[in-house]
Every structure is written in structure tokens, then in C-alpha cells.
Structure 1
Amino acid sequence: MQSFLTEEVKELSKYNIDIYGLEDKQYDYDMESGDAFFQELEQDLIEHGSFKTHVVLNKSATMMQLNFQTKGTVTLICDRSLEPFEEPVDSNERIILKFGDHDEELTDEIEIINRNTNRINIARYIFDFIALSLPIKKIHPDLRDENDESDPLDEEDGVLVYSSGDEKGVIDNEEEEKIDPRWEALKKLRGE
């Protein structure tokens, strides 16, 4: 059991960056991982994959800017066929960490971290950027065609029409057109 825990801690500890005592300049880090990275994080989106990330950290007295360039592949499950397939990942994102009195996320791109923080772990950022680079619809490459890329609202069958007219009148007219002729005799008896 002890060796299993050591491996888990070891996997995510590769993404630790000691920031205490760093001079105000640029630093470069290269990180590479595979299935163990995705299995270690508590998430259900990606189980398998491999990637390389190049991180450029620019430190100043008041903040750090981290640029992440990630390339690799992940295994996804097709939404249509439920078959696994390889999806390429190519992400170029950044995050800004400002030094302050507490930890707080201001925006998707800017966070405040306590100025007494000794170490940051960037595994969460890398995973988030990989997840954001994935397509919304996970379709196997063999099933993709030009129709998958088009907007369904642009197709003739899916055109949205706005009408400010009386909806009840429209519905009544449609119902009258759809009435079976055999029921016409009953309508006459009711006096309609």
C-alpha cells in the first residue's frame, strides 16, 4: 500500500513549482505525462492520453504569468458509436497569478495567491486547458462529415421562425386542416 501512495504523490508532484526565492525573470519547464496523470485527478472526462507541456513562467514582484503550450493525444468515447478514438490536443493558454493576502479566483485567467505561498502545483491548470481544447461533440473521425461542423439552425429543416401573430389562430387553422373528413358530419351536429 505504501508504494502505491508514493506513486500517486510522485505523479502529481512532477507539476510542483517552487516559487519561493525565484528571481524576477523568465523560467522554462518541460513536463510530460500519460494515463497516470488523468487517473490521479478526480475527473471522468479523460481516462487515457499522453501529452507534453512547455510552461514559460515570467515572475515579477507582484505577479507571475504562466504560458502553457500542450500537445498530445487523449482517448475519448464517441457520442454516437461509443467507440474509443484518439483526439489530438493542441492548446496554448495562459494564467496570471497575482500575489495578495488570500487565495481567490478573479476570472478564468487571473487568480490571487497568498504572497507567502512557497509552491504551486500546475496539474489542475494543465488538465483544465486540455479539457477546454476538446470538442463539445465527441465524434469518431470515421463518422465526421461536413454536416457535423455546420450549425443545425442554418439547415433548411432547422430554421427558426419568429411570429408575432395570434398563436391560437394559427393552431386552430392547422387543426382544421388536419381534421379527418369523416368527423365533419359530427362538427355539423354540434353546430360548428
Structure 2
Amino acid sequence: MKKDAQYDINIAKLADKTHHFAFELDKAFFEQFEQQLIPEGQVHADVTLTKTERLITVDFDLHGTVRQICDRSLDEYDQVVEAHEQLLVRFGDQNQELDDNVLQITPDTQTLPLAQHLFDYIGLALPMKKLHPRFQNEPDENPDADAKLIFTTRPEGDSTEGGDNDDIDPRWNALRNLN
């Protein structure tokens, strides 16, 4: 990833109160990341940062669209993205990621880079199954499909519960007497 300071927040100069930031994430933002999950998009990010003496709470409100490729037809389409996430940043002895949404930074850290977090939250908001809007209202299973598998232990055409004993392998007859 190329370093772009446009998505960094200078926390050293911020007072202990709530601050609001807005970012427009466009094709240039997604091109920074060496990936093919999201080739381009237009996402608006409202970031609310609440700074206290010991903790920084960063709330992300993301909404917009990203370009995706349909898993079924391979057609490109715009996927709507909505995400509301929270990142907790606490002060400690060293810089480390404690959990998916909890970071620890040293008190002398000057900036908080948000680009990777913004990208990750957008990626998490994408559905696992990427379907073009023309396929999204179709039912998942076709009840008339021939590919539906039904397991049975009876031979085909046998409609009785016990079945016909003449078709059974004679080696199994000894097991019937074990009651």
C-alpha cells in the first residue's frame, strides 16, 4: 500500500473532545491497495473521533457504492455499501493491535492512519455472495431442479417399508436373525 497522508488524523494537536471528519473514498483511494476485491467505488465516510486522556474512540459511518463482479454472470455492477464500525485506541507502552477493533499506541504518537481501517470496514460490509441486482430476487433453490439429491436406502421402485427380500444380498440375511 502506498502511504497517503490524506487519510491520517493528527491526534497530537486535537483537544480532548469530539471531532468530526469526512472523507470521500473514490477510485484513487482503492488503487492505493494492491488488491482486486474492490477495484473502484464512491464511498462517503463520516468519522467521529472522541479523544479523552486515556482513550480515543473512532466511530465510522460509511455509505456509498463499490464496483463488484457478479459471481454468477461475471457482469460488473455497483454494490451498495453501508457500515457502522467503532475503533478503540488506547495509550500504552508500545504500538500494537490488541483486537480487530482495539489498537494500542504510545502517548507520543502524532498521527492515526485510517486508510487501512476504512478499506477493511468496506470489505467487511460486502456480501459473501456477490450477485448482480437482476439475480438478487431469485430464490436460492429451484424446487424443480434435477440436481436435488434425496438419500434413500430402498431400491428404486420399491414402495414398501420393508422392501422385497429377494433383491437383498444373502450375506445380510444373517444379520436379520440377531434380534
Question: TM-score range, shorter-chain basis?
Answer: 0.7 to 0.9
Per the alignment, residue 15 of structure 1 pairs with 7
Gaps of 5+ in 1: 1-7, 151-156, 160-170, 179-183
Per the alignment, residue 53 of structure 1 pairs with 45
Matched, 1:106 2:84: no
Matched, 1:126 2:104: no
Let me know the Cα RMSD of the aligned residues: 3.1
Residue in structure 2 matching 1:177, options 134, 155, 158? 155
Gaps of 5+ in 2: 142-147, 157-165, 174-179
| Deviation readout 1:12-70 (Å, 9 max, x if unpaired) | 22101111132111111111121111111122200010111111000001110000111
Shift in alpha-carbon separation, 1:108–1:85, aligned structure 2, 3 A: same
TM-score computed with the length of structure 1 as normaliser: 0.72
Residue in structure 1 matching 2:139, options 143, 147, 170? 147
> Cα offset for 1:158?
7.6
Letter in 1 for 2:117: Y
Q: Give secondary structure in 1 for the equivalent of 2:16.
A: coil
Measured in 2, the distance between the counterparts of 1:28 and 1:84 equals 34
Moved over 4 A (4+): none
Q: Give secondary structure in 1 for the equivalent of 2:24.
A: strand
| Deviation readout 1:139-165 (Å, 9 max, x if unpaired) | 0000122524x8xxxxxx589xxxxxx
Q: Which has the higher helix share?
A: 1
Shift in alpha-carbon separation, 1:27–1:158, aligned structure 2, 3 A: farther
Matched, 1:96 2:74: no
Shift in alpha-carbon separation, 1:158–1:120, aligned structure 2, 3 A: farther
Letter in 1 for 2:124: L
Matched, 1:83 2:59: no
Measured in 1, the distance between the counterparts of 2:149 and 2:11 equals 54
| Deviation readout 1:119-156 (Å, 9 max, x if unpaired) | 111011111111111100000000122524x8xxxxxx
Q: Give secondary structure in 2 for the equivalent of 1:66.
A: strand
Measured in 1, the distance between the counterparts of 2:62 and 2:149 equals 37
Measured in 2, the distance between the counterparts of 1:16 and 1:105 equals 17
Identity %: 34
Measured in 1, the distance between the counterparts of 2:85 and 2:23 equals 15
Q: Give secondary structure in 2 for the equivalent of 1:80.
A: coil
Shift in alpha-carbon separation, 1:158–1:45, aligned structure 2, 3 A: farther
Q: Give secondary structure in 2 for the equivalent of 1:106.
A: strand
